[in-house]
């Protein structure tokens, strides 16, 4: 029985006060659970210390939404993996489609970010996924394969073991349009087969492949019920403690059933 992983990506949302309230609501709301599911909360940088402080005595870990491909130096506005590590951050999302789209992040840069995180023993949550045009043109497998190979397959086996992959079809992110469980499972199986070819069966089984894209309190259970879906990367629905906890409950229930 493999436990699930649920990660909340707050993106650039909430005031300091709202962030504090949400973190406290999560701490309280999750306190009574004997969770098998691993939970990660990824607030914006200015709220990270709130999260790392609270995470120490809570049922969740703190994660960042991005990091620099450099460790230090004249890179105005950037935040490095060593800085995140010093704060007590344990996970970091990289290669989110919003970063690829609005900040022109390439697979090459994402691979460098993965390396910087690995050097700090931070867990990279590496996003991949096709646009609607790519899916319509039947290029979704090709696109995802290239993203996975170019961002991750330079890693040695012992490093790859610590990576989390999030499949997030771009057409499903923040749109309210979720991939069907069948569409998600098809892609997750494909990604796992790529991992298996490169790193072997055991690592392929152990690798966490999350689904992201309008996953919410209502549809999480149908997605997580599939053994190839190891949990979710949750955007909008992670901003309300009640919805996020319902998603975590769906992960718990489906772990027991799988």
What sign has the CA pseudo-torsion 142, 143, 146, 147? negative
Of the candidate spans 142-150, 190-198, 206-214, 242-250, the one that interacts with ligand PEP by CB under 6 A turns out to be 206-214
Using the rule CB under 6 A, give the single segment among 17-25, 39-47, 132-140, 168-176 that binds ligand PEP. Answer: 168-176
- 177 sits near ligand PEP (criterion: CB under 6 A): no
Task: Report the residue number, 148 or 233, with the smaller CB distance to ligand PEP.
Answer: 233
Residue closer to ligand PEP, measured from CB, 90 or 243: 243
**Residue 234 is a binding residue for ligand PEP (CB under 6 A):** yes
81 interacts with ligand PEP by CB under 6 A: no
Is residue 96 flagged as an active site residue? yes
CB neighbours of 8 closer than 8 A, spacing ≥ 6?
A: 39, 40, 41, 42, 234, 238, 239, 244
Does the footprint of ligand PEP cover residue 65 (CB under 6 A)?
Answer: no
Smallest gap, in angstroms, from Cβ of residue 10 to ligand PEP? 9
Residue 167 CA to residue 105 CA, distance in Å, equals 17
Decide if residue 181 touches ligand PEP (CB under 6 A). no
Of 161, 147, 154, 233, residue with least CA distance to 190? 147
Q: Whose Cβ is closer to ligand PEP: residue 30's or residue 237's? A: 237
Closest to 97 measured CA to CA, from 122, 131, 63: 131
Q: Of the ranges 37-45, 68-76, 228-236, 250-258, which one interacts with ligand PEP (CB under 6 A)?
A: 228-236
Which entry of 96, 105, 130, 140 is annotated as an active-site residue? Answer: 96
Distance CA 168, CA 179 (A): 9
Mapped onto helix, strand or coil, the DSSP state of residue 90 is coil
Which residue, 80 or 219, has its beta carbon nearer to ligand PEP? 219
DSSP 3-state of 118 = helix
- The answer to whether 233 contacts ligand PEP (rule: CB under 6 A) is yes
Say whether residue 231 binds ligand PEP (CB under 6 A). no
Cβ 228 vs Cβ 167: under 8 Å: no
At 84, give phi and psi (nearest 5°). Answer: -65, -40
Residue 130 beta carbon to ligand PEP: minimum distance, rounded to whole angstroms: 14
Distance CA 155, CA 157 (A): 6
181/235 with CB nearer ligand PEP: 235
From CA 255, how far away is CA 90, in angstroms rounded? 23
Per CB under 6 A, residues contacting ligand PEP are 9, 11, 168, 173-174, 212-215, 233-237
The catalytic residues are 96, 168
């Amino acid at each position: 029985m493999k436990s699930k992983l649920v990660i909340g990506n707050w993106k650039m949302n909430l005031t300091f006060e709202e962030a504090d309230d949400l973190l406290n609501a999560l701490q309280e709301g999750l306190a009574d659970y004997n969770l098998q599911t691993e939970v990660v909360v990824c607030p914006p940088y200015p709220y990270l210390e709130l999260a790392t402080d609270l995470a120490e005595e809570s049922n969740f870990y703190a994660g960042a939404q991005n990091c620099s491909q450099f460790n230090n130096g004249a890179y105005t506005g950037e935040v490095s993996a060593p800085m995140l590590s010093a704060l007590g951050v344990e996970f970091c999302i990289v290669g989110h489609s919003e970063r690829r789209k609005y900040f022109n992040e390439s697979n090459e840069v994402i691979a460098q970010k993965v390396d910087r995180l690995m050097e700090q023993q931070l867990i990279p949550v590496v996003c991949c996924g096709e646009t609607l045009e790519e899916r319509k043109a039947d290029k979704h497998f090709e696109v995802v394969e290239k993203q996975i190979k170019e961002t991750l397959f330079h890693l040695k086996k012992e490093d790859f073991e610590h990576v989390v992959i999030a499949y997030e079809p771009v057409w499903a992110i923040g749109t309210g349009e979720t991939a069907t469980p069948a569409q998600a499972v098809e892609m997750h199986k494909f990604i796992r087969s790529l991992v298996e070819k490169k790193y072997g069966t055991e690592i392929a089984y152990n690798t966490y492949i999350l689904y992201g894209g309008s996953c919410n309190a209502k549809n999480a259970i149908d997605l997580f019920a599939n053994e190839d879906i190891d949990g979710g990367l949750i955007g909008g629905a992670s901003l309300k403690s009640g919805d996020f906890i319902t998603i975590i409950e769906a992960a718990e229930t489906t772990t027991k059933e799988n």
